[in-house]
Amino acid sequence: MAKLTFTKTLNVILLGPPGAGKGTQALAIAASFGLRHLSTGNLIRHNIQAQTPLGRQAKEFYTRGEYAPDHLVVAMVKEELCARELEKGVVLDGFPRTVAQAEALDQTLAEFCQQVDAVIEIRSDTEEIVQRTEGRRVCPRGHSYHLSKNPPRVAGQCNLDGLPLQQRVDDQPETIRKRISVYREQTQPLLNYYGKKHLLRKVDGSQSIEDVTGSIQGILSALDAE
């Protein structure tokens, strides 16, 4: 992965429906700009697996394809952001998802004298994202593959850490439909929130993985030149 330089601190949010490619792109963008990758979905799955108090509270929502309560997710993100220096910045994958979460994020970043620098909406149509989520397989560390669109080099095994790939419990057809409707109801209003702040940029998520990465890199590099 080619390293790109960004001279300022960069805090970028990836928005998009389930299966749009947030996780795939967050990894690529974090690697190319040297940023931290923070995925609330991965954090919740980790807490559920480790049976922490937070995991126990979030599990029923996660399994039904609903959002975990704002206060739980905000507390989890604050803890992660405060645990280490923000250094060059962070790619937020799946957070915020509600206006209340966005307001809490603005407050938390302000405590570090930082702000949200860009919000990238990855757009994709419903049929495509249903196919992507149904065929997705993930490793326990959150690396994501697709049986036909993005297969691992060795079937059933993560390219990066060799761990076995599994299907997520929320990638069943009914739960996927539920997650898409929850996104429309609760997260689409955020597009307006960030649009008003002139932070929102859109990319076509139906392109190849590499082309989506290139589009996002182009947007972020142009920001650095401003």
Which of 167, 126, 164 is closest to 147 using CA atoms? 167
Catalytic (active site) residue 153: no
Closest CA to 9 of 45, 36, 44: 36
Residue 146 binding partner per list Mg ion, ligand AP5, none, with a CB distance cut-off of 5 to 8 Å that depends on partner kind = ligand AP5
Taking CB under 6 A as the rule, does residue 200 contact ligand AP5? no
45 is catalytic: no
Distances (CA, A) of 26 to 38, 154, 217: 8, 23, 11
Quick check: helix, strand or coil at residue 176? Answer: helix
Minimum Å distance from CB 162 to ligand AP5? Answer: 18
Instruction: Tell which residue, 131, 142, 141, 129, has the closest CA to residue 183.
Output: 129
23 touches Mg ion by CB under 5 A: yes
- Of 34-42, 101-109, 150-158, 180-188, which segment contacts Mg ion by CB under 5 A? 34-42
Q: Find the helix or strand (DSSP H, E) in which 12 lies.
A: strand 10-15
Partner interacting with residue 179 (select from ligand AP5, Mg ion, none; CB below 5-8 Å by kind)? ligand AP5
Which of 37, 59, 136, 201 is in the footprint of ligand AP5 by CB under 6 A? 136
> Which among 45, 59, 132, 136 is annotated as catalytic?
136
Q: Which stretch binds ligand AP5 (CB under 6 A): 106-114, 139-147, 155-163, 190-198?
A: 139-147
Contact 137, 147 (CB under 8 A): yes
Query: Could you say which of 12, 29, 30, 73 contacts ligand AP5 (CB under 6 A)?
Result: 73
DSSP 8-state symbol, 124 = -
Contact assessment for residue 200 and residue 191, using Cβ atoms and an 8 Å cutoff:
yes
3-state DSSP assignment of residue 157: strand
* One-letter amino acid for residue 127 of the chain: E
Q: Please identify, using beta-carbon distances, which residue of 23 and 205 lies nearer to Mg ion.
A: 23
Q: Which residues contact 169 (CB under 8 A, 6 or more apart)?
A: 62, 63, 175
Compute the least distance from the CB of residue 225 to ligand AP5, in Å.
26
> 10, 20, 139, 158: which one contacts ligand AP5 (CB under 6 A)?
20
> Interface with ligand AP5 includes 152 (CB under 6 A)?
no
Q: Which of 123, 101, 89, 133 is nearest to 202 (CA)?
A: 123
Least distance in angstroms from the C-beta of 41 to Mg ion? 5
Binding footprint of ligand AP5 on the chain (CB under 6 A): 16, 18-24, 40-41, 44, 61-62, 65-68, 73, 94-97, 101, 132-133, 136, 144-146, 149-150, 170, 179, 205, 208-209, 212
Catalytic residue numbers read 22, 97, 136, 168, 179
